Structure 1
Amino acid sequence: PAPSADSGVEEVALGGLERAAGLDLLEHAVGRTLTEDESNWAGDLWFESEGLPLRFVQAGALLRQRDRLRAGTSAVDEFGVFEDVPPADPADAHDLGDDVPLPALGEAAAPAPLLASRLSASARATLRFAVALGGEVPHQAHLPALVGDTHADAALGELAACGLVSPVGSRYRLAAGVPAQLEAAGYADEAEAGARSAAQHYS
Structure 2
Amino acid sequence: MCFLSLVQVSFAQEVEIEVDAEDREKAIRLTDQGISQIERGNYPAAIRDIEDAISIDSTFHPAYINLYSAYINTQGDKSNLIKLLEKGNRVFREDDELTYYLGYVYYEKNELEKAIELFSEAIRYSKINGEDFPLVYAYHFNRGNAHLKLARYQKAVEDFSYALKLNPDHPDILVNKGISHYRLDQKSQACRDWRKSVEEGSDTATKYINQFCR
Taking structure 2 as the reference length, the TM-score comes to 0.28
Q: Hey, which of these two has a bigger chunk of strand by percent?
A: 2
Larger Cα Rg: Structure 1 or Structure 2? 2
The structure richer in helix per residue is 2
TM-score (norm 1): 0.29
Higher relative contact order (CA 8 A, sep 6+): 1
